[in-house]
Amino acid sequence: MLKYIIPLLLFIIMAVFLAVGLNLKPGEIPSPFINKSAPEFSAPKLNAPEEKLTPADLKGQVWLFNVWASWCVSCRAEHPILNQLAQQNAVMIVGLNYKDEPGAAKNWLDTLGNPYNVSIMDQDGRIGIDYGVYGVPETFVIDKKGVIRYKHTGPVTAEDVQQTFLPLIAKLQAESL
Amino acid sequence: MKRFLFIFLLLLSCSSYALDYRQLPDPKQQETYETLTKELRCLVCQNQTIADSNADLAADLRRQVYEMLLQGKSRQEIVQFMTDRYGDFVLYKPAFKGKTSILWIAPVIFLLTGLITVFLFIRRKKAAANLRSQTGALETDAEKQKKIRSLLEKGDPS
């Protein structure tokens, strides 16, 4: 009897490991930023490089921090979704124009529409490093106190907006400062 | 001989640095730079270190390591800086703690399981052999010899 049980057990253990392994998404690295303060930055605005934006300027409101670039193909797929979200006026959307040419970035916004309340420039990728950015696009949800509450890696889909972003934003808007 | 030496030297030349090379003033820091960039994972191409990778992010992270060393930051501080931003995943040698313990313990468990299996297998075989030699071994030997002799005498019947 034991002779059959041991191989069976080994098989089950292996099957469980393989099943778990199949369902893992190695592209999605857990972010160490959840429930931590949004890292500081002071970055020039894309449309007005002489003006700078810091997270402190955004205190008291819920904002999305969306990392994008004109060279990023998935950003193009994500863009209409962000435009729609911007039309709903549910949340402030801040863009981090990551390792991009200002000219190319402006051109991109002119042709595809600009969902961002403001975009800031990170030409050498330092703000990106501070936010642990490793794949563009990435989207952070930051609450009124300036704490990162959620991070989405990869393009945001309409489904993500309905099921994750809008409920979370509504919840965070209801929180008091 | 000279020709072989020449080819051999040519082969050696291929292992030079293909990427941006950085020289730190202090040889000790240079060593830290080289080991650290080989222990940090490039998050874009996940099976390469930032020393190996050509990805943009890897280049930025190399620059970051270099600058932090120039500022006199220790190895520990740089590793902390990276894990604060990218999590334990960025380390090819993650620290031993709750979440990563299975990474460190699993190989030991597998090795022990293997050793125990081999040990049990050998012991069982030995026990079986002992049993055979104690009981009917002589008898079967005699029987076998008889068979062999008859085969030799008569030739193979088949």
**Residue A119: pLDDT band by 50, 70, 90 thresholds?**
very high
DSSP assignment string, A2-52: HHHHHHHHHHHHHHHHHHHHHH--TT-PPPTTTTSBPPP--EEBSS-TTSE
What's the angle, vertex CA A32, arms to CA A150 and CA A134, rounded to 5? 85
Residue B16 has pLDDT above 80, yes or no: no
What is the three-class DSSP state of A53? Answer: strand
Shortest CA gap A32–chain B (Å): 6
Q: Do B106 and B88 belong to one domain?
A: no
Average of per-residue pLDDT across A53-74: 94
pLDDT higher than threshold 70 for residue A87: yes
The CATH number of whichever domain residue B52 belongs to comes to 1.10.8.640
Contacts of B57 in chain A (CB under 8 A): 125, 128, 133-134
A129 and B56 within 8 Å at the Cβ level: the answer is no
Give the range of the structural domain holding residue B130, as residue numbers without chain letter.
100-154
Enter the pTM of the model. 0.73
B31's enclosing H/E stretch is helix B27-39
Please state the domain count of chain B: 2
CB contacts of A31 in chain B (<8 Å) are 87
Give the pLDDT of residue B145.
83
Residue B13 lies in a domain: no
Question: Quick check: B18 pLDDT over 50?
Answer: no
Q: Specify if B84 maps to a domain.
A: yes
A131: which chain B residues are within 8 Å (Cβ-Cβ)? 85
Edge-first strand listing for the sheet containing A92-98: A118-122, A92-98, A63-68, A138-142, A148-153
According to DSSP, the residues that pair with A155 across neighbouring strands are none
Q: Are A77 and A102 in contact (CB under 8 A)?
A: no
Q: Where are the domains of chain A?
A: 32-174
pLDDT digits (tens, 9 = 90+) for B116-139: 999 999 999 988 888 877 766 566
For residues B67 and B110, state if they share a domain.
no
Q: Is pLDDT of B155 > 90?
A: no
* Chain A residues whose beta carbon lies within 8 Å of the beta carbon of residue B85: 32-33, 129-132
User: Nearest CA to B66 among B90, B86, B40?
Assistant: B40
CATH class of A32-174: alpha beta
| Dist CA B41 CA B61 (whole Å) | 10
Per the structure block, which two tokens stand in for B20? Answer: 């941006």
B40 and B62 housed in the same domain: yes
Residue B38 placed within a domain: yes
ipTM above 0.90, yes or no: no
Tell me how close the Cα of A30 comes to any Cα of chain B, in angstroms: 7
Both B114 and B150 in a single domain? Answer: yes
Question: Could you tell me the sign of the dihedral formed by the alpha carbons of B78, B84, B89, B95, in that order?
Answer: positive
Do B90 and B25 lie in one domain? The reply is yes
Residue A75 pLDDT:
94
Same domain, B75 and B114: no
- Closest residue in B to A129 (Cα–Cα): B85
Same domain, B150 and B125: yes
Between the alpha carbon of residue A52 and those of residues A41, A44, A73, A167, B132, the distances in Å are: 9, 4, 27, 31, 89
Q: Are A77 and A70 in contact (CB under 8 A)?
A: no
